Structure formats: C-alpha cells, structure tokens
Amino acid sequence: MAEDTKEQGIKNLTKVPNKDLKPKQREYKRLAKESGIVDVNYDGIPDQDQVDLTSMDPDLQWITKLIESNDDLKQVFLESSEKGFFEPEAGAKGIANFQNAIMGSDWWQENNQYARAAFKLQKTDPAAYAASIEDSVKAVQEQLKNAGLTLDPATVNMLAEKRVTDGWDRPDREYKLLEAIQTSSSAQPDATVKPTGDLRTYAQQLRNTASANGLKFTDEYYNDLAKSAVFGLSNIEDAEADIRQQAASYWPSYSDKILAGYNVRDLASSYLYTMGTELEIDPQSIDLNDQYIRKALTSSDDKGNFKPQGLWEFQQSLRSDPRWMNTTKAQNQVASTASRVMEMFGLVG
C-alpha cells in the first residue's frame, strides 16, 4: 500500500509495485530514475526539500562558506536541492547532476582551475590566502630585483594576486610572471640595483616553456640559448619559438595552437584534473608523456582522423591502472559491492 510521508503530505509510491501504478505514474517513475531527481509520488514534479546550510557537519562547514559567498553557486545549490539531487534516492546520479550544474555555472566558466582554487582558499581559510599573497609579493620583488626593474606598490600587489589566481607559482607557469613584469608599462630601470640573474631567468623561462609542452632538453641546451640572448646574439623570443616549433612537431594535432602561444599542459588540463581526481594524486605531478595522457591527446578514429579521447572513456581507462585500487573511491566501491552481496545472501541485516 502507498504510504503518506509526514513532510509536505506527499504520497510515497516508491514501494508500490509497477503493476499497481497508472501508466503515467510508471512513466514519471522511469524519468525520475534516469534524471536522478526525487519524485516519490510520481507526478512528474521534483519533490522540494529545503536544505539548511547551517546544519551541515562541522567538517563540511567550508562548503557552506564557499556556497554562501557567491550568489551563482548558491543559486545552483538551491536549485539542485529543490530537484532532490541530494536525496538518498537520487544516489550517485543526483550528485553527478549537481556537479554538472556547478561546472555549467557562470562562476565555473569565468574562472580557471587556479582562480577557483584561490577563491576557495580565500573564502574558507583567509589566513592561508593572505599568507600566499604575502609570499607572492616577495616573489614579485625578487623577480624585479633580478631584472633590475622597479614597479609601484599597487602594480606589485596586482601581480602578486595574479600569481596566485592564475597559477604563476607553478613550475611550468613561472615564466608568466617574468613576462608580465617585462611588458608592464609602469616598469622602470632600478638605478640602485645592478641587474643579476638574467642568464638563470632566461634559462628557467625556456625550461618552463619546454616542460609545459612535454619536451625535455639538457641544461646545456637551455644555458646556451640563454647566453646567446644575454649577449645580444639572439633574443629570448626566437629561442622560445624554436622550442614551440619542436613541440608542434611532437604534438602535430595541436601544432596551430602551440605555435599561437598555447601550452599543451593547458590544453590537457581536463585530462590532468580527471587523472588527479581518479588516482588521488596531484595533477601538477603528472607528466604530459604519461601513457594515459598521451593516448588521450593523440587518439584517432577508425579513419585515422584526430579525435581526442572522451573524458568518460578516459576515466574508465584509469580504473584499470593498479593505482586506482588503492584509492579511497575504489575501496568504498568494493566495500559497497561486498555489502550488497552479503545482503543478497542474508548474511547481514
């Protein structure tokens, strides 16, 4: 028999056999299951359940702060709640729908992975965010000293913030800070500081460009190019262009973008993020020549035409890696499967 829920007076038909449901109710039941929404009375309208953010577990309060700090995120959360994405009946499908809604939001689209991480840190741990900005100010000042330049305090602070929000503190993106300093219209020669470190700076800039495109050369190679630029025999732009030419031949499917200034690491960011999430490792530690990443970036269809591997297919391939079985996600999945099997045999209540 149907049950009446105590909340909202909604008739719960979830335990009613299909044969006792009306055709329209069976159709709404199917649609609810496929879309991951909660519709216990099978009327085609998602059941609303107001979620109180303040009642969340203390360990998850950072999520509350993050959602409350942005109107776009809060709207996505409330709409997902109204659609029942967080209800037990929605299961993994509901959570996946919520994640898709977040990734489709203006906030997600308007901020790169570095900006989103900085935003989270700023809202959930202001002290740590302030410390990261302070460290970045010091990094900007050190680069200015090495280049023999000065900038006004406001521009220094602006560059320090961009270093955090644009990921310029990453090994393969450090060159972006130097580029920003060199192209700043307010940069002036520092008469009190003798320029030092140009050779080291140029060499590191070239090394970063190569690394960001999956290439590796000897230290001698970088140093020779840097020396040539320092003594005016060539310029650093030509040296970078040479590296990009080699990267374009190494990644032919992305040659146009590489030559236009894009880095393969940025183009592969979705695969790196997925691999880091699935194997519970730092995406920044993943080499572009990793077998999974390279396969994803160089896949082709049956006719030999370039076709990047789909993210779902890429995710499934990662689960065949021995490292995946050591992740929390894999262990939870195994435990859940074992529990269901035991229930089938009546071994657990």
Taking 60 as the threshold, does the pLDDT of residue 117 lie above it? Answer: yes
Q: Where among 162, 196, 230 does a domain terminate?
A: 196
Of 167, 196, 225, the residue at which a domain comes to its end is 196
Number of compact structural domains in the chain: 3
Same domain (yes/no): 40, 136: no
pLDDT of residue 232: 63
Say if residue 183's pLDDT is above 80.
no
pTM of the model: 0.41
Q: What is the mean pLDDT of residues 122-145?
A: 86
User: What is the average pLDDT across 33-53?
Assistant: 62
Q: Is the pLDDT of residue 250 over 60?
A: yes
* DSSP assignment of 11-66: EE-TTS-GGGS-HHHHHHHHHHHHHT---TT-SSSPPP----GGGS-GGGHHHHHH
Same domain, 89 and 129: no
* Span 87-108, pLDDT tens digits: 767 777 777 787 788 777 776 7
Q: Is residue 174 part of a domain?
A: yes
- Residue 293: helix, strand or coil by DSSP? helix
| 62 plus 153 within the same structural domain | no
Is 102 part of any domain?
A: yes
Residue 224 lies in a domain: no
User: Residue 88 gets which letter from DSSP?
Assistant: G
Residue 283 pLDDT > 50, yes or no? yes
103 and 120, same structural domain? Answer: no
* Same domain membership, residue 122 and residue 103: no
Decide if 149 is inside a domain: yes
- Shared domain check, 102 and 9: yes
Residue 297 covered by a domain: yes
Q: Is 38 in the same domain as 132?
A: no
In a domain, 211, yes or no: no
pLDDT at residue 320 greater than cutoff 90: no
Task: Specify whether 21 is located in the same domain as 91.
Answer: yes
Domain hosting residue 105, numbered range: 3-110
Any domain includes 231? no
Long-range contacts, 222-229 (Cβ 8 Å, 24+): 223/199, 226/198, 226/199, 226/200, 226/202, 227/199, 229/202
Say if residue 132 is in the same domain as residue 165.
Answer: yes
Residues 106 and 128 in one domain: no
Determine, yes or no, domain membership for 214.
no
175 pLDDT band, cuts 50/70/90, is confident
Indicate if the pLDDT at residue 217 is higher than 90. yes
Among candidate residues 110, 145, 165, the one where a domain is terminated: 110
Q: Are residues 22 and 98 in the same domain?
A: yes
